[in-house]
Structure 1
Amino acid sequence: MMTWKNQTFKSGFILLGIFDQSPTHAFLFSLVLGIFTVAFMGNTAMVVLIYLDSQLHTPMYFLLSQLSLMDLMLICTTVPKMALNYLSGKKSISVAGCGTQIFFYVSLLGSECFLLAVMAYDRYVAICHPLRYPILMRPKICRLMAASSWLLGSFDGIIEVAVALSFSYCGAREIPHFFCDVPALLTLSCTNTSTFERMIFICCIIMLLFPVAVIGASYTRVILAVISMGSGEGRRKAFTTCSSHLMVVGMYYGAAMFIYMRPTSDRSPTQDKMVSAFYTILTPMLNPLIYSLRNKEVSRAFMKVLGKGKSRE
């Protein structure tokens, strides 16, 4: 077994990818590159705007900047390697590269799960307990909750990459995916991975269902509070902010549950690739658009930066 593992670590894996060289797939590949460009620029702009504009130095926008940073890192974990393999005609990935993808991918997914729950709690406190908001969401607590999201996600990433790469892998080592995803990698294992798969399922319950419960409880209270508001303008503003967050939550959690909470026997490589492409490529593009287009303060900050740029010219 040790000999096989040494051989595996020297030779790495083959990523079968999602595109071939047909004209249709060449167009789809160009479309993915376009989406990647929009996602990269959109999330970078959100992080920079929130950092530069002092009026956006609030808990809500700090947490939003962390979400954009996670999305930026997530899309950079998968798309550049996929594009390089497609353009070069090579499909190989080293074991170190595969482990790196698994670590960042799993860590960022887990971190976003917890961060979205923190964002829901932030909206709950802001709307249901506005007088206590400066105390309950003071900068130190806000930074602590964000850091906890990063750390919990990273802890899950370390465990999954350590266990996944400890297995022996057989055959042609061809991963039926466009990146090193743990469920796809486990299909190549020579050893019994059922215990590890059960562990992943339990982790998903904790990292998906627990935050969903927090989000559900928070927004139930928020909706009740918003309905009872006397001010129509306050009700509209609260619904706009919360609906943006709920849209992101629905897209993100729905896709993640579809991938990671189904038994291996029910998995289809094609379905997994399509759904993974949705929430690793498309969702990071939609997040900044959803928040910025529906948010006057972000739009104002963007126009302010543009105005400064034009005045310098």
Structure 2
Amino acid sequence: MSELRFDDRVAVVTGAGRGLGRSYALLLAARGANVVVNDTGSSLTGEGLDPGPAHEVVAEIRAAGGDAVACVDSVATAAGGQAIIRTALDRYGRIDILIHNAGTVRRASLKEMSYQDFDSVIDVHLRGAFHVVRPAFPLMCEAHYGRIVLTSSIGGLYGNCGVASYAAAKAGLVGLSNAVALEGAPEGVLCNVIVPAAVTRMADGLDMSAYPPMDADLVAPVVGLLAHESCPGTGEMLVAVAGRVARAVVAESPGVYRPSWSIEDVAECLDDIRDLTEPLVFAVVPDGHGEHLRYSFEMATRNTGLPDA
């Protein structure tokens, strides 16, 4: 296969001053993209401002012969999101790729987590995604081209202790991505989710001594494909952890139909209800929502003798 390049494409990468975002920005730039490197340079908990990391990545890209511009506005506000996208327009006149990677974490048990800490994490991860997607999406639709990559987490898919705000935000991003994928499909705008794991600042304080190599460079190529014009799908989730790349899906059991239910009926049928021997997966695009309903309705009509709708 010939090298997949991004010549003349304009990419915005949030949280690109360090870790995963930095790897994404460097890879896209090395393949020809013009990159807006967005990072406030804040601490892991989202406090403080330091323009250094964003400007250092820009300098690294330029030293390698690419072009990039730094933006230190925060995704946590609508004004910040608009400023980030405006940076791409002011510098390059367009936006083709949006990768929302910015993130913070504030660890606390659910019994002790403050409302302020919960909101702070939601603001960066989930609202932050909306703050950059909202101004970028109409521009992409107008151009009939766009690639959006939102960042979830295994914590969002399966939960984790001590990070309820992070888990909630990352799960919410899956729903947002699905909606963007559905609305963007007719306009040539694709949106997918990356579920990454790498040794970055997010791992500070965790015992990772038994982990295999988990460099950000093992994740970046997966994001690169999702951001490329040849990306083969939309409304999907790809996992990248320790060299393993996989697809994650929402699956259902075929289920059980009854014309009426009691609590006892549910209890008696629970094994069959939970049986995932033959799981159902409804693709988000073109109409997973409708397919889900049609399957359920058809089961009901088959068992009641009613004519199909």
Q: TM-score range by the shorter chain?
A: under 0.3
TM-score by length of 2: 0.25
Q: RCO higher in 1 or 2 (8 Å CA, sep ≥ 6)?
A: 1
Which of the pair is proportionally richer in helix?
1
